[in-house]
């Protein structure tokens, strides 16, 4: 296990301490409420620094700023040059800490994006991501169009960010790791019915990619939805290192060891699955088979992805959740 079990209190020279904020599920329906919630997040950046001076990166869950209303009102949408992101940058500088934040991003060409960003301790955006897989049919957000970026974070750790439902697709974590991510951050607004899937996908995303995962949900009730909190750190063998409770605004911490991830990726033979995926059967054939034997991948590249039961699928838009059927096609 890579963690000492003390949440980074005995931090190693190669360790990166991450704090996951199980943020109270907010109600944000007006610009005034948006401003108040921005200030609340800023305050918790300071709490993270005071709570554990060793913390390198504080992570807020998806919907931390907007709550779970799914409101697309332009009056409460954000932009990278807006006051909310400016406040987050200032907080990171003031408290000398990196931060991972969630915004619903204004999109002049269509529905807003569900976006996330990682800001360094100098106030610079090091990673910007738009959720690739909105949680259909519940979420109205535009599908992301900038891929799965990575950045170099504290202590040289390579970080990626995926958002909530993204983590249910094994291809998402694989893409992040393929680009070099050693720590895969997953932010979410999930509610209690997703608890089992949350746990097993956080673990499998780590194990299948020899990566460490740091994942956190909103927490508590907004009067309608009950979010589950349950921050979770998983090691690259899939074991859970540190696990949070259901207490709103609790910050759980863990020391991650990307240096051990790098070691495993280089030296493991058995279960070095991310390498073996592209080098099938290297014991039998030199370098392994480096083909693409997967029909679904080939079809997707050709724009011909179609399930054998495709014509029988009943839920194919958001009308069951009160959203009008879309008329626009995806432009990328």
Give the CA diameter of the chain. 65
Establish whether 234 is a catalytic residue.
Answer: no
**Phi and psi angles of residue 231, each rounded to the nearest 5 degrees, phi first:** -55, 145
Q: Are 59 and 256 in contact (CB under 8 A)?
A: no
**Nearest to residue 96, comparing CAs of 66, 135, 122?**
122
Establish whether 84 is a catalytic residue.
Answer: no
Indicate if the alpha-carbon torsion angle 269, 162, 61, 21 is positive or negative.
Answer: positive
Identified catalytic residue from 131, 142, 219, 254: 131
Establish whether 164 is a catalytic residue.
Answer: yes
Identified catalytic residue from 11, 62, 139, 155: 62
Identified catalytic residue from 164, 217, 234, 254: 164
Residue 93 to residue 181: CA distance in whole angstroms: 25
Tokens 């554990």 identify what position?
A: 52
Residue 235 to residue 1: CA distance in whole angstroms: 7
Report DSSP letters for 48-91, one per residue. HHHH-TT--EEEPPTTTTTBTS----GGG-B-TTSHHHHHHHHH
**Phi and psi angles of residue 189, each rounded to the nearest 5 degrees, phi first:** -120, 15
Residue 267 to residue 259: CA distance in whole angstroms: 12
Residue 261 to residue 212: CA distance in whole angstroms: 7
**Phi and psi angles of residue 271, each rounded to the nearest 5 degrees, phi first:** 65, 25
How do 250-256 and 16-22 pair as beta strands? antiparallel
Which residues are catalytically annotated? 62, 131, 164
């Amino acid at each position: 296990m890579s963690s000492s079990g003390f949440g980074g209190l005995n931090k190693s020279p190669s360790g990166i301490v991450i704090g996951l904020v199980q943020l109270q599920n907010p109600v944000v329906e007006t610009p005034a409420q948006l401003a108040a919630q921005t200030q609340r997040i800023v305050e918790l950046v300071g709490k993270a620094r005071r709570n554990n001076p060793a913390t390198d990166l504080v992570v807020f869950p998806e919907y931390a700023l907007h709550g779970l209303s799914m409101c697309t009102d332009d009056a409460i949408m954000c932009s990278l040059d807006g006051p909310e992101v400016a406040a987050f940058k200032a907080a990171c500088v003031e408290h000398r800490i990196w931060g991972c934040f969630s915004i619903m991003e204004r999109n002049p060409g269509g529905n807003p994006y569900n976006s996330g960003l990682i800001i360094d301790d100098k106030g610079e955006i090091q990673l910007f991501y738009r959720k690739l897989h909105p949680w259909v049919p519940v979420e109205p957000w535009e599908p992301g169009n900038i891929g799965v970026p990575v950045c170099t974070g504290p202590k040289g750790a390579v970080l990626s960010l995926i958002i909530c439902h993204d983590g249910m697709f094994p291809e998402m974590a694989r893409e992040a790791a393929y680009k070099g991510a050693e720590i895969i951050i997953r932010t979410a607004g999930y509610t209690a019915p997703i608890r089992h899937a949350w746990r097993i996908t956080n673990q499998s995303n780590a194990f299948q990619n020899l990566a460490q995962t740091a994942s956190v949900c909103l927490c508590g009730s907004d009067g309608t939805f009950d979010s589950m909190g349950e921050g979770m750190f998983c090691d690259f063998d899939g074991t859970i290192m540190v696990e949070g409770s259901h207490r709103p605004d609790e910050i759980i911490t863990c020391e991650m060891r990307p240096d051990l991830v790098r070691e495993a990726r280089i030296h493991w033979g058995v279960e070095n699955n991310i390498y073996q995926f592209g080098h099938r059967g290297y014991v039998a054939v030199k370098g392994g088979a480096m083909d693409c034997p997967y029909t679904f991948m080939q079809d997707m590249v050709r724009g011909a992805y179609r399930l054998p039961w495709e014509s029988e699928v009943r839920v194919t838009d958001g009308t069951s959740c009160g959203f009008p059927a879309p008329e626009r096609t995806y432009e990328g």
